Amino acid sequence: MFKDGSSSVSARLHEHGSAAWAAATGHPMVKEIAAGTLPHQHFRHYFEQNIAYLEDYARAIAAIAAKAPDAEALEVLGRILAQIITVELPANRRFLERLGGDPGGVRGVATMEPTTYAYTRHLLATAALGDCAAGLTAVLPCQWSYGEIGADIAGAKPDDPIYADWVEVFGNPDYAELVDVTTSLLDRLADPDPASFSRLQVVFDASTRYEVEFWDMAYGPPPASF
């Protein structure tokens, strides 16, 4: 607890960015996924961008792990990295295939739209230039917001099996537990000094805004090639 009686660093970061957070977790695209009414071409567009994003997200986590101050931090960051590499990236590639896309055609930066490029450069730059706490702050809104989305729509039963399977990926207790250990690690590593906290707030807010912009991009008109 802080001397002024406020809550943890992660809770304060979350509260400060609550408006953008609500826009991300309650995005119309998320609601259409839960209802199973999102046109498939929009979901296909999402996965093409998300695969490229997640590859760089994994690289950012690896760079953050290299700065882990102790074994406990290294273990948590290793778990986050494994979640992306062994669970989420394979799942995204399978979803793309089911939607008629070609995972082999996703080629990193060459595939990225401007929002995806800007978001991933923000993550990679923060991971490279900041300390472990700053890097963790940058990657946390993605994991945490998907955890909240998963909890919110866990009871949804879309008729379309593609949407039902996506809900299952994030609406499970294991994912929620990983979010808990990640936020706990940030709370342990973050310096509560006001100046340090303000720097983390800038990073966290930028990532949260990019989450909103990523959903906006995916929900908008797909590329002309569709």
The pLDDT of residue 222 is above 80: no
CA distance 91 to 167: 12
The pLDDT of residue 179 is above 70: yes
6 — pLDDT class (breaks 50, 70, 90): low
Say what the pTM is.
Answer: 0.93
Q: Which two tokens stand for residue 56?
A: 């760089």
Kindly state the average pLDDT of the residues 33-58: 97
At 224 the pLDDT is 56
At 7 the pLDDT is 84
The pLDDT of residue 41 is above 60: yes
Q: How many CB atoms sit inside 10 A of residue 194's CB? A: 9
Tens digits of per-residue pLDDT, 181-213?
A: 999 999 999 998 999 999 999 999 999 999 999
| 172-181 own/partner pairs: CB under 8 Å, 24+ apart | 175/83, 175/146, 175/147, 175/150, 176/147, 176/150, 176/151, 178/79, 178/80, 178/83, 178/143, 178/147, 179/143, 179/144, 179/147, 181/76, 181/79
At 2 the pLDDT is 35
Whole-number average pLDDT of the chain: 93
At 226 the pLDDT is 40
At 171 the pLDDT is 83
Q: Which two tokens stand for residue 12?
A: 């304060």
The pLDDT of residue 59 is above 70: yes
Q: What percent of the chain has pLDDT above 70?
A: 95
Residue 61 vs residue 173, higher pLDDT = 61
At 54 the pLDDT is 98
Q: Which CATH class is domain 9-31+40-219?
A: mainly alpha
